[in-house]
Amino acid sequence: MAEYVAPRHEAPPPAVTGRRLSYLAFAVIVIAYLAIIKISGALIGGWADEDDTLTTRGVVFTMLIPLGLSVIFTYGVVAALGWWRPVMKDDRPVNRWVWVVPAILLGAILLGINYSALAEKGWLFVVCLLIATQFVGWGEEGMFRGIGVTVLRRHGLREGQVALWSSLVFGVVHLSNAFTGGGASAIAQAIIVSLAGYFFYLTRRVSGSNALNSVTHGLFDFSLLSGSVILLDQQAYPGTFAPLLAYPVLAIILLVKRRHIEPAPSPAADGGTVTSHA
Protein backbone atom coordinates (compact mmCIF):
# COMPACT_ATOMS: atom_id res chain seq x y z
CA MET A 1 0.00 0.00 0.00
CA ALA A 2 1.36 3.42 -0.95
CA GLU A 3 1.85 5.92 1.83
CA TYR A 4 2.59 9.60 1.27
CA VAL A 5 5.59 10.97 3.15
CA ALA A 6 5.59 14.73 3.64
CA PRO A 7 8.86 16.45 2.66
CA ARG A 8 10.99 17.61 5.56
CA HIS A 9 10.61 21.31 4.82
CA GLU A 10 6.83 21.11 4.89
CA ALA A 11 5.30 21.64 8.32
CA PRO A 12 1.62 20.78 8.69
CA PRO A 13 -0.39 23.99 8.36
CA PRO A 14 -1.39 25.37 11.77
CA ALA A 15 -5.04 25.40 12.68
CA VAL A 16 -6.73 28.72 11.94
CA THR A 17 -7.64 30.25 15.26
CA GLY A 18 -8.79 33.64 16.48
CA ARG A 19 -10.92 36.27 14.84
CA ARG A 20 -11.07 37.13 11.16
CA LEU A 21 -9.88 40.61 10.20
CA SER A 22 -10.95 42.44 7.04
CA TYR A 23 -8.58 44.67 5.06
CA LEU A 24 -10.62 47.71 6.12
CA ALA A 25 -10.37 46.75 9.79
CA PHE A 26 -6.61 46.29 9.41
CA ALA A 27 -6.35 49.75 7.81
CA VAL A 28 -8.23 51.24 10.78
CA ILE A 29 -5.85 49.49 13.19
CA VAL A 30 -2.81 50.83 11.31
CA ILE A 31 -4.23 54.37 11.33
CA ALA A 32 -4.89 54.11 15.07
CA TYR A 33 -1.32 52.86 15.57
CA LEU A 34 0.07 55.86 13.68
CA ALA A 35 -2.21 58.27 15.53
CA ILE A 36 -0.95 56.99 18.88
CA ILE A 37 2.66 57.64 17.87
CA LYS A 38 2.11 61.01 16.20
CA ILE A 39 -0.49 62.53 18.51
CA SER A 40 0.86 61.23 21.81
CA GLY A 41 4.38 62.17 20.70
CA ALA A 42 3.32 65.74 19.96
CA LEU A 43 1.26 66.08 23.14
CA ILE A 44 3.77 64.50 25.49
CA GLY A 45 6.73 66.26 23.86
CA GLY A 46 4.89 69.59 24.01
CA TRP A 47 3.89 69.08 27.63
CA ALA A 48 7.51 68.30 28.54
CA ASP A 49 8.82 71.11 26.30
CA GLU A 50 11.00 68.63 24.39
CA ASP A 51 11.23 68.32 20.61
CA ASP A 52 14.51 66.51 19.90
CA THR A 53 16.54 63.44 20.86
CA LEU A 54 19.71 65.21 21.95
CA THR A 55 19.21 64.56 25.67
CA THR A 56 18.05 61.67 27.81
CA ARG A 57 14.94 63.64 28.75
CA GLY A 58 14.23 64.33 25.08
CA VAL A 59 14.49 60.62 24.20
CA VAL A 60 12.14 59.68 27.03
CA PHE A 61 9.39 62.18 26.17
CA THR A 62 9.62 62.24 22.36
CA MET A 63 10.38 58.56 21.74
CA LEU A 64 10.23 56.14 24.63
CA ILE A 65 6.79 56.99 26.04
CA PRO A 66 4.87 57.43 22.74
CA LEU A 67 6.50 54.34 21.22
CA GLY A 68 5.83 52.36 24.37
CA LEU A 69 2.14 53.20 24.04
CA SER A 70 2.19 52.00 20.42
CA VAL A 71 3.71 48.67 21.48
CA ILE A 72 1.02 48.19 24.12
CA PHE A 73 -1.62 48.93 21.48
CA THR A 74 -0.08 46.53 18.93
CA TYR A 75 0.09 43.53 21.22
CA GLY A 76 -3.25 44.42 22.77
CA VAL A 77 -4.71 44.01 19.27
CA VAL A 78 -2.89 40.68 18.87
CA ALA A 79 -4.37 39.47 22.17
CA ALA A 80 -7.87 40.69 21.25
CA LEU A 81 -7.69 38.85 17.92
CA GLY A 82 -6.35 35.68 19.52
CA TRP A 83 -3.44 35.71 17.08
CA TRP A 84 -0.43 35.11 19.33
CA ARG A 85 0.76 32.03 17.47
CA PRO A 86 0.46 33.22 13.85
CA VAL A 87 1.92 36.62 14.76
CA MET A 88 4.85 35.34 16.80
CA LYS A 89 5.59 32.12 14.86
CA ASP A 90 6.17 31.62 11.15
CA ASP A 91 5.52 28.20 9.66
CA ARG A 92 6.56 29.06 6.09
CA PRO A 93 10.25 28.08 5.84
CA VAL A 94 12.73 29.37 3.29
CA ASN A 95 16.07 27.95 2.17
CA ARG A 96 18.84 28.18 4.74
CA TRP A 97 21.03 30.50 2.66
CA VAL A 98 18.50 33.27 3.46
CA TRP A 99 20.24 33.52 6.86
CA VAL A 100 22.59 35.83 4.94
CA VAL A 101 19.93 38.55 5.27
CA PRO A 102 19.96 38.90 9.07
CA ALA A 103 23.73 38.23 9.06
CA ILE A 104 24.43 41.21 6.79
CA LEU A 105 22.01 43.39 8.75
CA LEU A 106 23.77 42.48 12.00
CA GLY A 107 27.18 43.22 10.49
CA ALA A 108 25.94 46.61 9.29
CA ILE A 109 24.56 47.36 12.75
CA LEU A 110 27.85 46.59 14.48
CA LEU A 111 29.77 48.75 12.00
CA GLY A 112 27.23 51.57 12.08
CA ILE A 113 27.05 52.21 15.82
CA ASN A 114 29.03 55.27 16.89
CA TYR A 115 30.42 53.83 20.11
CA SER A 116 32.56 56.81 21.11
CA ALA A 117 29.75 59.35 20.70
CA LEU A 118 27.36 57.17 22.70
CA ALA A 119 29.97 56.86 25.46
CA GLU A 120 30.05 60.65 25.67
CA LYS A 121 26.28 60.73 26.09
CA GLY A 122 26.37 58.47 29.13
CA TRP A 123 24.89 55.09 30.00
CA LEU A 124 21.39 56.34 30.87
CA PHE A 125 21.01 58.02 27.48
CA VAL A 126 22.20 54.84 25.73
CA VAL A 127 19.78 52.63 27.69
CA CYS A 128 16.83 54.92 26.99
CA LEU A 129 17.65 55.13 23.30
CA LEU A 130 18.14 51.36 23.10
CA ILE A 131 14.75 50.70 24.72
CA ALA A 132 13.03 53.31 22.54
CA THR A 133 14.42 51.81 19.33
CA GLN A 134 13.44 48.32 20.48
CA PHE A 135 9.92 49.69 20.91
CA VAL A 136 10.14 50.78 17.25
CA GLY A 137 11.28 47.31 16.21
CA TRP A 138 8.72 45.33 18.22
CA GLY A 139 5.91 47.75 17.42
CA GLU A 140 6.42 47.95 13.66
CA GLU A 141 7.29 44.28 13.23
CA GLY A 142 4.32 43.26 15.35
CA MET A 143 2.02 45.48 13.31
CA PHE A 144 3.31 44.87 9.78
CA ARG A 145 5.19 41.54 9.75
CA GLY A 146 2.99 40.08 12.50
CA ILE A 147 -0.58 41.29 12.10
CA GLY A 148 -0.15 42.42 8.49
CA VAL A 149 1.35 39.16 7.23
CA THR A 150 -1.28 37.15 9.11
CA VAL A 151 -4.13 39.20 7.59
CA LEU A 152 -2.80 38.70 4.06
CA ARG A 153 -2.25 34.97 4.53
CA ARG A 154 -5.73 34.46 5.95
CA HIS A 155 -7.19 36.17 2.91
CA GLY A 156 -5.58 33.48 0.77
CA LEU A 157 -2.77 35.45 -0.89
CA ARG A 158 0.22 33.55 -2.25
CA GLU A 159 3.41 34.03 -0.27
CA GLY A 160 4.98 36.22 -2.95
CA GLN A 161 1.95 38.52 -2.72
CA VAL A 162 2.18 38.51 1.07
CA ALA A 163 5.82 39.62 0.86
CA LEU A 164 5.03 42.33 -1.69
CA TRP A 165 1.94 43.85 -0.09
CA SER A 166 3.15 43.71 3.50
CA SER A 167 6.33 45.52 2.44
CA LEU A 168 4.46 48.11 0.35
CA VAL A 169 2.01 48.86 3.17
CA PHE A 170 4.97 49.31 5.51
CA GLY A 171 6.50 51.82 3.08
CA VAL A 172 3.26 53.71 2.38
CA VAL A 173 2.66 54.19 6.10
CA HIS A 174 5.95 56.10 6.31
CA LEU A 175 4.59 58.65 3.83
CA SER A 176 2.91 60.12 6.89
CA ASN A 177 6.31 61.68 7.65
CA ALA A 178 5.62 64.10 4.78
CA PHE A 179 3.03 65.76 7.02
CA THR A 180 5.33 66.01 10.04
CA GLY A 181 8.33 67.77 8.57
CA GLY A 182 9.64 65.07 6.23
CA GLY A 183 8.57 66.86 3.05
CA ALA A 184 9.37 65.33 -0.32
CA SER A 185 12.12 63.18 1.24
CA ALA A 186 9.34 61.08 2.78
CA ILE A 187 8.72 59.56 -0.67
CA ALA A 188 12.30 58.33 -0.96
CA GLN A 189 12.11 57.12 2.63
CA ALA A 190 8.93 55.16 1.86
CA ILE A 191 10.66 53.37 -1.02
CA ILE A 192 13.68 52.49 1.11
CA VAL A 193 11.47 51.39 4.00
CA SER A 194 9.51 49.08 1.68
CA LEU A 195 12.78 47.40 0.75
CA ALA A 196 13.74 47.12 4.42
CA GLY A 197 10.33 45.60 5.09
CA TYR A 198 11.12 42.79 2.67
CA PHE A 199 14.44 42.12 4.44
CA PHE A 200 12.66 41.91 7.80
CA TYR A 201 9.99 39.67 6.26
CA LEU A 202 12.68 37.23 5.11
CA THR A 203 14.33 37.41 8.53
CA ARG A 204 10.99 36.43 10.07
CA ARG A 205 10.62 33.46 7.77
CA VAL A 206 14.16 32.11 8.00
CA SER A 207 14.15 32.37 11.80
CA GLY A 208 10.66 30.94 12.14
CA SER A 209 9.42 33.67 14.47
CA ASN A 210 8.72 37.39 14.74
CA ALA A 211 11.39 37.93 17.39
CA LEU A 212 14.67 38.12 15.46
CA ASN A 213 13.32 40.61 12.91
CA SER A 214 11.89 42.74 15.76
CA VAL A 215 15.20 42.87 17.65
CA THR A 216 17.17 43.44 14.42
CA HIS A 217 14.82 46.23 13.34
CA GLY A 218 15.27 48.01 16.66
CA LEU A 219 19.06 47.63 16.60
CA PHE A 220 19.18 48.86 13.01
CA ASP A 221 17.38 52.07 14.00
CA PHE A 222 19.61 52.38 17.07
CA SER A 223 22.65 52.15 14.80
CA LEU A 224 21.34 54.80 12.41
CA LEU A 225 20.44 57.20 15.20
CA SER A 226 23.78 56.76 16.94
CA GLY A 227 25.57 58.14 13.89
CA SER A 228 23.09 60.77 12.72
CA VAL A 229 23.21 64.53 13.14
CA ILE A 230 19.80 64.28 14.84
CA LEU A 231 21.39 62.45 17.75
CA LEU A 232 24.86 63.95 17.87
CA ASP A 233 24.19 67.56 16.89
CA GLN A 234 27.49 67.50 15.00
CA GLN A 235 28.97 66.06 11.81
CA ALA A 236 27.57 62.69 10.77
CA TYR A 237 29.48 59.58 11.76
CA PRO A 238 31.05 57.85 8.69
CA GLY A 239 30.00 54.44 9.99
CA THR A 240 26.39 55.42 9.29
CA PHE A 241 27.05 54.44 5.68
CA ALA A 242 27.42 50.77 6.69
CA PRO A 243 23.67 50.27 7.41
CA LEU A 244 22.81 52.26 4.29
CA LEU A 245 25.11 50.12 2.11
CA ALA A 246 23.40 46.99 3.44
CA TYR A 247 20.32 47.84 1.34
CA PRO A 248 21.92 47.65 -2.13
CA VAL A 249 24.09 44.68 -1.13
CA LEU A 250 21.07 42.68 0.02
CA ALA A 251 18.98 43.87 -2.94
CA ILE A 252 21.58 42.54 -5.39
CA ILE A 253 21.94 39.21 -3.57
CA LEU A 254 18.19 38.68 -3.42
CA LEU A 255 17.73 39.68 -7.04
CA VAL A 256 20.31 37.11 -8.14
CA LYS A 257 18.98 34.40 -5.81
CA ARG A 258 15.28 35.27 -6.06
CA ARG A 259 14.37 31.88 -7.57
CA HIS A 260 16.05 30.01 -4.73
CA ILE A 261 14.33 31.60 -1.72
CA GLU A 262 11.44 29.18 -1.47
CA PRO A 263 12.21 25.49 -0.80
CA ALA A 264 11.96 23.37 -3.93
CA PRO A 265 8.82 21.21 -4.00
CA SER A 266 9.54 17.55 -3.39
CA PRO A 267 8.55 14.86 -5.91
CA ALA A 268 5.97 13.64 -3.40
CA ALA A 269 4.42 17.09 -3.20
CA ASP A 270 4.11 17.08 -6.98
CA GLY A 271 2.24 13.80 -6.93
CA GLY A 272 5.32 11.78 -7.89
CA THR A 273 7.41 9.88 -5.38
CA VAL A 274 5.76 7.93 -2.62
CA THR A 275 7.05 5.25 -0.34
CA SER A 276 5.46 1.85 -0.45
CA HIS A 277 4.89 -0.72 2.21
CA ALA A 278 3.89 -4.25 1.46
**Summary mean pLDDT of the chain:** 86
pLDDT of residue 266: 63
Q: What is the pLDDT of residues 56-92, one digit of tens each?
A: 898 999 999 999 999 999 999 999 999 999 999 999 9
Q: What is the pLDDT of residues 120-167, one digit of tens each?
A: 888 999 999 999 999 999 999 999 999 999 999 999 999 999 999 999
Average pLDDT over residues 210-223: 97
Model pTM?
A: 0.86
Q: What is the pLDDT of residues 31-42, one digit of tens each?
A: 999 999 989 888
Average pLDDT over residues 202-229: 94
Q: What is the pLDDT of residues 108-124, one digit of tens each?
A: 999 999 998 898 888 99
pLDDT of residue 181: 57
pLDDT of residue 134: 98
Average pLDDT over residues 218-232: 82
Instruction: Write out the chain in H/E/C secondary structure.
Output: CEECCCCCCCCCCCCCCCCCCCHHHHHHHHHHHHHHHHHHHHHHHHHCCCCCCCCHHHHHHHHHHHHHHHHHHHHHHHHHHCCHHHHHECCCCCCHHHHHHHHHHHHHHHHHCCHHHHHHHCHHHHHHHHHHHHHHHHHHHHHHHHHHHHHHHHCCCCHHHHHHHHHHHHHHHHHHHHHCCCCCHHHHHHHHHHHHHHHHHHHHHHHCECHHHHHHHHHHHHHHHHCCHHHHCCCCCHHHHHHHHHHHHHHHHHHHCHHHCCCCCCCCCCCCCCEECC
Is pLDDT at 252 greater than 70 in this prediction?
yes
